[in-house]
Structure 1
Amino acid sequence: MPAPYSVTARFTQAILEASLRHGVQVPEALRAALTQGVRVPMAQQDSLWALFAEATVDPLAALAVGTDLQAGHLDIVGLLLLSCDTLGDALEVLTEYAPIIGDNARFEVDAVRDPVVLRYLPDYTVCVEQRVEAALGCVVSLARWMTNGRFRPSAVLFAHAPRAAVAEYEALLGCPAQFDQPFNGVAFAPGEMGLSLIQAGRELHAHLRTLADIMLASLAQDSVSARVQHLIRKHPRWGKERIGDELGMSGRHLNRKLAAEAISFKGLREALLYNLAVQALRTGQTAALVGEKLGFSDENAFVRAFRRWSDKTPAQFVRAGFTIMEADPSE
């Protein structure tokens, strides 16, 4: 039997936080269930969206949530997008790795026609219109931010009828909106594919792509790598032997299990520590504090590791604008 659909915890947390800001009363049991693992069962995400849709008065609340989402909310996929050279490269990444964010929706790029169309193909049945609006709002907002405001979509296409005045959609999206279309998606001129991204980095891209491949391969919830990822995120100080003990096996046996999935413990742990470091630095935590939380012997050891991962020191990373992105992705 195939594993049930699931969504990354980072994306779920963003929706949960938005729901709370809108005054949605989320039962404590559901709130706890949404924040316990690396992946969240889609049924729980459905419940959260149902509460959101029922409790919010503004018909464009979901679209506003989508335009507020940031790259970090997309987990490793968001970081991978930021490391691409061009918008076209980023769209290729999105079509390949979108299941990491939520594995019951996918994207397709139709680059043959003019305009180019990025199609969004959801396979969920709860609050479809709201979730489609959030997804496409996120795509437009993030693409605009990654290109330093140069991305100019021709239109955002919705398969459903407008839920508010079309002018209100267009004010939020910053571009034309069309409804009752054959599919959901974003249309734009072919030349937009070549737009360079503000955070392009080839070495970082290769590093993140390796992690994304690992995560994509481990979506089955019973895989050893998925369980290891969960423990590393929960206990970043733990090493191979301690995690092996938690899983009821020796460190050597754990290595063999991961090797069967074409994964190394060292590579997986370092990639996840980098991901955790990026998330922490975005919230304004100091390098010393982040290094201590992640188990480094001192700040210098963390700085050396971070430079190896990203070719930047933590201070350079912050000055490059990543904390600003978290505060306001529209700038």
Structure 2
Amino acid sequence: MAPTDITAGTIPMSFVLNLLNGTPLDPAGQADALARAGIAPVLLGAETARVTTEQFATLYRQLASQLDDELPGMFSRPVRSGSLKFLCLSLLDSATLQTALFRLSRFFHLLLDDFRIELSREGSLVRMALIPRMPQAAANTFGQEILLKLIHGVASWLTGHRMTLARVDCSYRRPSHASEYGFLYPGPVFFEQAVSALYFEAAQLATPIRQDRRSLARFLARAPGDWLFVAFEQHPTRQKVREHLRPRLGLPISAGQTASALHLSLRTLTRRLAAEGTTFQAIKDELRRDATIQLLTKTNTPIAVIGQEMGFEDPNAFHRAFRKWTGSTPGAYRPK
């Protein structure tokens, strides 16, 4: 059995709810898909609950298979199994990313009635915009989130590196999980814009395509994980703090000690984190939360031991902290 990566991230339960709500499955079908993904149904009602990215990807694959729809239930007609494979095959012989993105926009013109993907030049930027083709499409927030991620994930895979974005526009209001966007999109995000769109620096589109049929097989085997959950962090100080804390989650590391390790004063570290919209304690809690969920869902390690590994000598303090992080008890995350 492969070792558990306790540093892997988690995502909010709202992603699971949005995914399920778009499907025509009855409660029994949804319960079966959740069970196969290792997601406890009781967590669906917990507003602050989280799931691992692996659990979400597994649920996504289950629904895609059951519904024969690679964007399960998100749009007015299904995207049949094999569509992503044929899309990527059509892109592999493109000379540059620009040609590939143009082909991608034409491919989705054949697949989707809800949106067309418009490729246009705006000064030094190239915009990939989702233009609604039917009245109800503009209200489909989750479908737009996933489609933007698919475009970006495929572009990143084609070029062999994580593509940065000059900006991301979202036509909808700021969602409750907007804080997660820093990990979904590698660029500044703006809400309530005219249309949802990704903006690339024009020079990036001259990047050659670096993939072939052999690497495509690996990419498809890991879908949707490789295009949906490509982790990004656009806040350099927060990222440095996370990297320092990850191997030390069970130790009583203070903000002052971390500042010294990063060759900063405590005041400077605090100021920089505040400018990035976070605090030292928030970063530490996020890491411990995600690590705990990974261990609860992937191992049989006793809950009390997990608490100790996260730096809690008192089991009651660990339970209180976990409930504060997720709205549920650690036991609710254990597979039944």
Fold equivalence (TM over 0.5): no
Relative contact order, CA 8 A, sep 6+: which one is greater?
2
Q: TM-score with structure 2 length normalisation?
A: 0.42
TM-score after normalising by structure 1: 0.43
